[in-house]
Amino acid sequence: MEDRPVRRASAEDGFTLAELLTAIVVIGIGIFGTMQLFLASLHATSATTARSRAVAVAGHETDLLRALPWPALGFDPVTAPVDPPEGTTVKVDPALAAVLATGPDQVVAGITYRVDRGVVWVAVGDDPQAEKRLLVTVTWRDETGDHVVRQDGLVAPDQSSATTNVEVAPGAPDSVSAAPDPGWPDSRIDLAWSGGSAATWEVEHALDAAFTDPVVDTASLPPGTATFVEPALSPGTTYWFRVRGRSGSTVSAWSTAARASTAGAISGACRIGAVHASPSPATIDLTAGTLAAPVVIEVEAQGTCAGLSIAVAPDGESAVTRAMTPVAGGVWHAAVEADLTPIRWATGIRSADVLDGTGAVLARVSIAICSGSGGCPS
């Protein structure tokens, strides 16, 4: 039998170049869409994780406030940091006023969480301390914008086993150590102590071992605390620190003083003492990128100072410098405008540097910027 070549049908000739290019384009569009969906999912997961961390921080801080002891009656009323329930009056215990201080900030996975606290006493009938209202707000910023978590609590004396009227007999720490902060060696000192007992801890610093002119840094650290960071110090300066325990109106003896020096050099005969920023926290309009009021920086200068100025980056990038003006008592001040268009203020912690005439940094102060809609305290 004669062999004959096998011929393929026209349908079996394979794909044309046009068909291959069309298939590649279709597959590419599908892959691109899938990648966009994947990236969106990653952003959503990251935002959810950040919010979960903020909720956990707020819950922990609320528990700490709930555990504060019920104070004695008879304190004077002052302005409350949170809105009271309708139809009630509110008083704040001065012994707990320092608890309302912000911070310390917590940095987790590159995101800084800012903590603000509030404690008010709600009067019902003739009882000015019938209930204790708690407020904790945690603010942070990520690639999706600014966020706030707020947690409230209302506690009565018989509603929480964590509330107690028993005073702890205060005792001074056995030892206190001080060292420059590794991240901010020219402006911050890290303290640590051990031993002692207290309902709250009090920390002071001074420029001499005799504590001739002491400065109270805090008097409201929780009893389980054994560390403290002192910010906004002058470079090239030696400081002495001491710690004691407090329990109501009873205080312990002071601990043995610990000494530490900030890095850097003092500019000639000019020495910068305390540095203040007001308001801090400052309230921002996120839409306009402006503040509700200018930020005023004041420094207490000693010696011969000239040409002082401040430098701050409102958006974290663009630096703004303003000359400082001397006023009475060795105090210098400068104001940074609320509206710096085209530069926008942004939420977060901004460091304002005090500069001498050569541009050297003499001191630093932190300015907290947060959204008023997030419960930013006044």
Rounded to 5 degrees, what angle do the CA atoms 164, 169, 171 make? 130
Q: Which band of pLDDT confidence, cut at 50, 70 and 90, is reported for residue 36?
A: low
Ordered by where they begin, the domains of the chain are: 43-155 (no CATH), 175-261 (2.60.40.10), 270-374 (2.60.40.1930)
Q: Given this model, what pLDDT does residue 282 score? A: 86
Are 327 and 334 a contacting pair, CB within 8 Å? no
Q: Name the least confident of 46-60, 251-265, 309-323, 338-352.
A: 46-60
Closest CA to 252 of 189, 206, 193, 212: 193
Residue 364: CB atoms within 10 A of its CB come to 23
pLDDT for the residue 164: 29
- pLDDT beyond 90 at 178: yes
Q: CA triplet 132, 134, 138: central angle to 5 degrees?
A: 175
Check pLDDT > 80 for residue 98.
no
What are the distances in angstroms from CA 81 to CA 5, 347, 378?
96, 20, 8
In 3D space, the residue among 130, 179, 137 whose CA is nearest the CA of residue 158 turns out to be 130
The least confident of 136-150, 242-256, 335-349 is 136-150
**What is the pLDDT at residue 322?**
92
Q: Answer whether residue 75 shows pLDDT above 50.
A: no
Is residue 348 within 8 A of residue 141, CB to CB? The reply is yes
Mean pLDDT estimate for the chain: 74
* Beta-strand pair 282-285/361-371: parallel
Q: Indicate whether 311 pLDDT > 80.
A: yes
pLDDT tens figures, 218-250: 888 887 889 999 887 877 788 999 999 887 667
Chain centroid to CA 199: 23
Looking from the CA of 21 toward its CB, the CA atoms found within 13 Å total 3
pLDDT score for 294: 92
pLDDT one-digit tens code per residue, 277-295: 888 788 888 888 899 899 9
Residue the block writes with tokens 């590794």 = 182
Mean pLDDT of 149-165: 55
State how far the Cα of 175 lies from the Cα of 370, in Å rounded to an integer: 37
Residue 192 pLDDT more than 80?
Answer: yes
Q: What residues form DSSP beta bridges with 114?
A: 139
pLDDT of residue 289: 87
Q: Label residues 279-295 b or e (16+ Cβ within 10 Å = b).
A: bbbbbbbbeebbbeebb
Mean pLDDT of 23-40: 72
Q: Positive or negative, the Cα torsion across 64, 274, 363, 289?
A: positive
Q: Does 369 or 192 have the greater pLDDT score?
A: 192
Q: How many CA atoms lie within 13 A of 360 on its CB side?
A: 19
